Structure 1
Amino acid sequence: MAAATDPSASTALITNDAVVMGLLAVTLGAIFWTASRPDGFWKKFYTYVPALLLCYLIPAVYNSIGLIDGNDKTLYVMARDYMLPSALVLLCIAIDLGAILRLGPKAVIMFLTGTVGVMLGALVAFGAMSVIHPETVAGDTWRGMTTVAGSWIGGGANQAAMKEVFEVDKFDPDMFGQFVAVDVLVANLWMAVLLFLAARSEAFDRWTGADTSAIEDMKRRIETYQAEHSRIPSLTDLMVILAVGLGATGLSHFLAEPMVAWIGGLPENWNLEDYSLDSGFFWMVVFATTIGLGLSFTRARSLEGAGASRVGSAMLYVLVATIGMHMDIGALLDKPGLFGLGLIWISVHAGLLLIMAKLIRAPLFFMAVGSQANVGGAASAPVVASAFHPALAPVGVLLAVLGYALGTYCAYLTGQMLRVVAG
């Protein structure tokens, strides 16, 4: 990781990566310190505002006011490639795989509902903006929308695939960048809403009449295990936890590189890129999750007693902060039409999820993670899942991997429907 960025390339007040990292660390520390106050103003404040939401929004404010440069993705790449896989491994160590399987089919149903919501939302948003502000969807705007569909169903690899399939840059060199902004801002706003709702899950579950016994059983098993094996971590414990997390991350990267190279040598007509199987990030996440789940069946699980999942959660919060620092709240004013399009789009996605959650009496956890596994992917789905309980983070990862597989096909179908609607 570079120690600093080129000051001439940014107008932000702080351009040194080390200083930005320090600022984010202090911000996270301040949030958690104030959230731990047992009484007074902060006690009342955090009754209504989840701490996790602030971990995301305050860095966004830093970027919006020009304090830091959100376009510099150095810290995000570090958190995504090093901390995310380490966190997945450490969170998976204490997981009860059988408990995940006992969660039942509702998690998958909500995930697929989220996928349909993105596809249907594209058509509804296009039609609505055709009436509200026709200039927003004039010409080849529909092509740019396919890239958002790819991102919101799958991930970055699927988004890039749609960019090439529908030749977005050929028709407008600025279009892809505009829709990346729509993708990031609207998706992050929705993530903020989900984090806000996570703190009110009990009220939501009462409204849907959801049976949360399987989720509560899973959390109870983890908490019981932690209580029985909990100990004050020694330096040896912490070093072993870091060794397991970062060692597994290194192994995941090591295995991902030859896997991608091998897949790249397979016949092109197999179209494996349609499943994002040529993505190094995809394989890195898969390997990290698999290693973590494998370790949960070994003596490594005893590391949970020394706080393995807490270390993993701390790494996830750093990822949250680096995600938030890319959001420019002021950018909403630059292209109001396109952002209006995105807001309508995500509203349809959210509305369909709410309807389905009520119909099948699904817990908020399934709705939130099913949505984020689509819209946010493997980088942020475990963040939302861990807002309910650290033990639930792997559920978000498993669903997000499914999104990678569906992303290109569903986004391509969405693009063809938009082509017909656009005439």
Structure 2
Amino acid sequence: MNRSLRLVELLPASSFLTKWGITFLLCWMGVFSFTYAQPQINVDQVSGRPPLEVNFEWQETSPQDSTLQLERVVWTFGGKDSIESMAGTHLFEKVGKFTLEAKGIYSDGHEEVISQKVEVKPLITNDAVVFGLLCVVLALIFVTSGSSHPFFQKFYKFVPALLLCYFVPALLNWPLGWISGEFTQLYNPVTSRYLLPAALILLCVSIDLKGIINLGWKAIVMFFTATLGIIIGGPIALMLISAIAPDLIGASPDELWRGLSTVAGSWIGGGANQAAMKEIYEVSDRIFSSMIVIDVIVANIWMGFLLYGASKSGAIDKWFKADTRAIDDLRNRVEGYSASIAKNPTTTDLFRILAVAFGGTALAHIGADAILPVLEPYERTLSEMGLSSLVSRFFWLIVIATTVGVGLSFTPARKLEGVGASKIGSVFIYLLVASIGMKMNIGEVFDNLGAFFIGIVWMLVHVSLLLLVGKLIKAPFFFTAVGSQANVGGAASAPVVASAFSPALAPVGVLMAVLGYALGTYGAIVCAELMRVAAGG
């Protein structure tokens, strides 16, 4: 207790009513309050290479006259593991950033929570070294994929080069522990904020708008089918896993459907839509961290399947009995135009390409910086209207960069395609693919199997509906793959999947992804309400 309460205790015992009257008055005036313990935790080390052994201890620094008794301390380590103890040791075996959290529970029910960040670092944390390593990996993949050696020819017949560009960096993350997306800025900002907008400009500078329009209604149908698959997949997965293994997640049904709403927001729209769902449905940080496994790991595994499917699109289209003439015509027209103006680039030509790519990227950043301050005061209103993407800097960056590229396609800048604009754009895309792969820690699957199984069932519903509708309307697999990735992956990866079919088709992925941003919050709310019903809420 504090000094003001001691003064009250000095009053004569006979003045009982007076004493407690003054006490009440002082409480009401905020002069004194009961003082709880101010504990702290001691941790011997907070960073290092795996396996990292951390010793921890709870220490009380309570006031001398405090009558509160500490009953127990519960420690958690950024996962499902927890112990009750005043002190102990925990072994962090995997690379990552973790939160060591201690919850002290007192005799009156009061709780004190203290946390400490622990960083288990990969072998390489220098961005320059990581970037060089990824460039070497990409070069080895493309050199071997073009080799005449029988082994490599046979190997790449079954494993697409683009798939390796994605999964080899992921293996360097886990289990090797050489690099990690958590300890580098290569993805954000380098590849996603600088190289991706530049790539979109270079890939759109020779865009054939007439050819894209001629793709027809099937492209739109497959996009909305992908959205519907996510909307209905969530409640189906929730009901199925809850019926088979209700204790698999370790969360109440109410917590679970709320958490899954953030996955729906991300898969239909993007990061801004996911953040909106977290706020709308009041998702706790504990549940949200489990949902990241579904969002990131399952979506990245599915992207790997799409990249593999792109190399087998001919066989899949034959099974669909799809009419691919519009896609073939668009690809041939763009590639034919490129061949008709092709020449060996000079140094001047290369600087023109860089000026267009990064000058346009600069304009996109300037535009995003100018638009956001105007819209941010209306963030709550826009979120309520389902337009949370409009206050996302990344959204405007992608929209403006795409607009710049399309606008330049009507100018002499279009001729830059003849000196390799799309090839440089493709290099940027491959660097983006490698940096996305580097972020994927496959080992997290084993720490969150319940969330992973829900994500797998959810994705299977999404894929099954896509294949069914694609078969019924005889849609090319390109529409299936890009429609799906425009939903699940967004603007950062939809052009990657489209480019796997042909660099000429990358703009289609961008345009579909922008449509996904617009629909993300609306679709996620519908999905969340269906999951509420499925959970019995």
**TM-score class, shorter:** over 0.9
8 Å CA contact retained: 2:386, 2:522: no
Q: Give the corresponding residue for 2:139.
A: 29
Which of 174, 178, 181 lines up with 2:286 in the alignment? 174
TM-score calculated relative to the size of structure 2: 0.76
Give unmatched runs, 5+ long, in structure 2: 1-46, 50-118
Matches of 1:192 and 1:378, distance apart in 2: 16
Matches within 5 A, 1:11-410: 11-65=121-175, 66-77=177-188, 78-136=190-248, 138-139=251-252, 140-169=255-284, 173-266=285-378, 268-269=380-381, 271=384, 274-410=387-523
CA drift of 1:264 comes to 2.0
Matches of 1:295 and 1:387, distance apart in 2: 24
8 Å CA contact retained: 2:194, 2:361: yes
SS in 2 for 1:276: helix
SS in 1 for 2:391: coil
Of all paired residues, the percent bearing the same amino acid is 53
Richer in strand (by share):
2
Matches of 1:17 and 1:378, distance apart in 2: 24
The CA deviation string for residues 339-394 of structure 1, in whole angstroms up to 9 with x for no partner, is 01100100110010000100000000000000000000000000000000001001
SS in 2 for 1:325: helix
Matches of 1:193 and 1:131, distance apart in 2: 28
- Please tell me the residue identity of whatever aligns with 2:301: L
- Please tell me the residue identity of whatever aligns with 1:85: P
The CA deviation string for residues 34-57 of structure 1, in whole angstroms up to 9 with x for no partner, is 111134211111111000000000
Matches of 2:483 and 2:195, distance apart in 1: 23
CA drift of 1:269 comes to 3.6
CA drift of 1:265 comes to 3.6
Matches of 2:462 and 2:194, distance apart in 1: 31
Q: Give the corresponding residue for 2:13.
A: none
CA drift of 1:216 comes to 0.4
Matches of 1:195 and 1:145, distance apart in 2: 26
- Please tell me the residue identity of whatever aligns with 1:402: L
Q: Give the corresponding residue for 2:63.
A: none
In the TM superposition, structure 1's runs of 4+ consecutive aligned residues that sit over 3 Å from their partners are 6-10, 265-273
Q: Give the corresponding residue for 2:26.
A: none
Matches of 1:264 and 1:366, distance apart in 2: 35
Matches of 2:353 and 2:248, distance apart in 1: 51
Matches of 2:184 and 2:436, distance apart in 1: 9
Richer in helix (by share):
1
8 Å CA contact retained: 2:293, 2:448: no
| Larger Rg belongs to | 2
Matches of 1:101 and 1:417, distance apart in 2: 34
Q: Compared with structure 1, are the counterparts of its residues 73 and 344 closer, same or farther at alpha carbon in structure 2 (3 Å cutoff)?
A: farther
Matches of 1:297 and 1:389, distance apart in 2: 21
8 Å CA contact retained: 1:10, 1:69: no
The CA deviation string for residues 173-210 of structure 1, in whole angstroms up to 9 with x for no partner, is 31111111221000000000000000000000011111
Matches of 1:128 and 1:319, distance apart in 2: 36
Q: Compared with structure 1, are the counterparts of its residues 249 and 129 closer, same or farther at alpha carbon in structure 2 (3 Å cutoff)?
A: same
Matches of 1:94 and 1:31, distance apart in 2: 28
Matches of 1:70 and 1:167, distance apart in 2: 28
Matches of 1:165 and 1:272, distance apart in 2: 12
Matches of 1:396 and 1:38, distance apart in 2: 33
8 Å CA contact retained: 2:199, 2:428: yes
Q: Give the corresponding residue for 2:120.
A: 10
CA RMSD between the two structures: 1.4
Matches of 2:372 and 2:425, distance apart in 1: 27
CA drift of 1:329 comes to 1.4
The CA deviation string for residues 378-417 of structure 1, in whole angstroms up to 9 with x for no partner, is 0000000000000100100101111111111111111111
Matches of 1:16 and 1:269, distance apart in 2: 42
How many residues in Structure 1 have an aligned counterpart in Structure 2?
Answer: 415
TM-score calculated relative to the size of structure 1: 0.96
Q: Give the corresponding residue for 2:62.
A: none
